[in-house]
Structure 1
Amino acid sequence: MGAWEHEKNLTLWRDKIVQDIWTPHWNSIIGNLHNQKIGFANVFGGPSAAVICHQFASLGTDIFIQTGYFGGLSHDVQFGDILIVTAAEMADGVSHWYLPNQQTVQSDRELIEAAVSFCKDKGYSYVTGTVFTTGAIMVETREMVQEWAKHGHIGVDMETATTLAVAAKFNKKAIGLLNLSDHIIKGDTFYSPNEIREEVKKKTDEKIRELALYLSR
């Protein structure tokens, strides 16, 4: 997951992975669920995501699911939507080391279809589309945001392209499932507190965890 609240997120996932839990790194846990080994790592930014994905892929992990948050670049996406990422533009500074001849990296088609089917069956609100993955969020300008949106991206994040690229390098399946944190195309930012919005984000996080566990089986 791409987020900075490490201990909080580890606790949330530890409650779901209830058997034979062990901690290989300070920001990750591994355990068994439904007779299957599953792991969670809390990362922030491309380099952090790459370290975890590279090691786990080398050890035989077959599916990588990037969860976390994105800044909205489309007026069509709403708080409460699950963004099922179909592809990511690689501007993170890490992914091109794994896929040097590419500008974008795709999510696994089967995982996309399974995620869409799950959301439809559950009645969960979702959108599909691409993200722009950047290496820094503090330097973005209004002009940058408009340019990213002009290229058709639904959102911007810091990890998805990295995770997809590392997985692709090792011939593994991967997908991104993201929660809208702030609607930057509308001038909104996550520095603007909103209790109603935070409650919606919290409920959407839980739906994304449910979906991620379903896809991991």
Structure 2
Amino acid sequence: MKLYRDYAKGDWLDILSLHVHQVPKSMIIHGEWEPHENLKYWTHFFGEKAILPKWNTVIGSYKDRMIGFSNVYGSPMAANIVHQFGGAGTDLFIQSGYIGGLSDEIKYGDIIIVSEVELGEGVSKQYAPHFRTLKTKSELVQMAVMFCEQENIRYHVGKIHSTSSLLVETEEDITNWSKDGCLGVEMECGTTFAVAASFNKRAIGLFQISDHLIHGDSVFFSNEERDFIERETDEVIRKIALYLAEKG
């Protein structure tokens, strides 16, 4: 009997209905509840030759290089995508999305480049059981920093925490994660890093603040200014992600 963990590259290519030349070299894994606008954006970006191997995933050519985008929410969903595409041959996974802010240094609209992620959710333990944290390859961090410097983008490099659910975070959790030096907390990055590492693939995270937790802000109660900043910063993160997807 052949179990899922025993599937080889050919199996995943068949499951994804992709030829080898269609497998994205780099893939943007975006964590967000609402997928429709993101999928619409990337389908339009890739144009008529866009490939949709799954309901939440779009693949296309960018500067003669195949890249992909997948909209996920939570660690199990992230694992499902990264495992299949990692098995099929994707080399670089770029996790993007939103964090709850844990540092006074970070402002709305700033970019957080992940150098290290704490594995606080459950799925990563299945892929990296002996690790408390995983680190980004230094050359990927340097590439992201260089792009931000060139484009005059405000950024921070540091550690974040991945958790299983934002709705059960306590004040004690927030305080402890902040004291531990985490810049923010989210739900997918730890899993993306762990699954990628299990396939000897690379991963990096690019985030913005959705709610400044240490200031008492809530993701459920925003305002026009924060919404505008979020939309503008989404586009900045896409530019950085595309640069990494092309050059990485």
1:65 aligns with 2:94: yes
2:206 is paired with a residue whose SS is: strand
Deviations 1:14-54 (A, max 9, x none): 23223521111111111111111111000000000000000
1:33 aligns with 2:62: yes
- 1:111-122 aligned within 5 A: 111-122=140-151
Q: Give the letter for the 2:45 counterpart.
A: K
Structure with higher helix content: 2
Q: Find the counterpart in structure 2 of residue 192 from structure 1.
A: 221
Report if the CA contact (8 A) 1:19-1:32 is conserved.
Answer: no
Q: Find the counterpart in structure 2 of residue 136 from structure 1.
A: 165
Report if the CA contact (8 A) 1:45-1:135 is conserved.
Answer: yes
Report if the CA contact (8 A) 1:65-1:176 is conserved.
Answer: yes
Deviations 1:90-144 (A, max 9, x none): 0110111111100001112111100000000000111111111000111111111
2:168 is paired with a residue whose SS is: coil
How many residue pairs match? The answer is 217
Q: Which aligned segments of 4 or more residues in structure 1 are displaced greater than 4 angstroms?
A: none
- 1:89-100 aligned within 5 A: 89-100=118-129
Q: Provide structure 1 residue ranges, at least 5 long, that are not aligned to the other structure.
A: none
1:52 is paired with a residue whose SS is: helix
Q: Find the counterpart in structure 2 of residue 16 from structure 1.
A: 45
The alignment's C-alpha RMSD in Å is: 0.9
Q: Give the letter for the 1:138 counterpart.
A: L
- 1:70-89 aligned within 5 A: 70-89=99-118
1:54 aligns with 2:80: no
Q: Give the letter for the 2:97 counterpart.
A: G
Question: How many Å separate the matches in 1 of 2:32 and 2:43?
Answer: 16
2:166 is paired with a residue whose SS is: coil
Q: Provide structure 2 residue ranges, at least 5 long, that are not aligned to the other structure.
A: 1-29
- Of structures 1 and 2, the larger Rg is shown by 2
Using the aligned pairs only, state the percent identity: 46
Question: How many Å separate the matches in 2 of 1:15 and 1:78?
Answer: 31
Report if the CA contact (8 A) 1:19-1:31 is conserved.
Answer: no
Report if the CA contact (8 A) 1:19-1:33 is conserved.
Answer: no
1:4 aligns with 2:33: yes
TM (norm. structure 2) is: 0.86
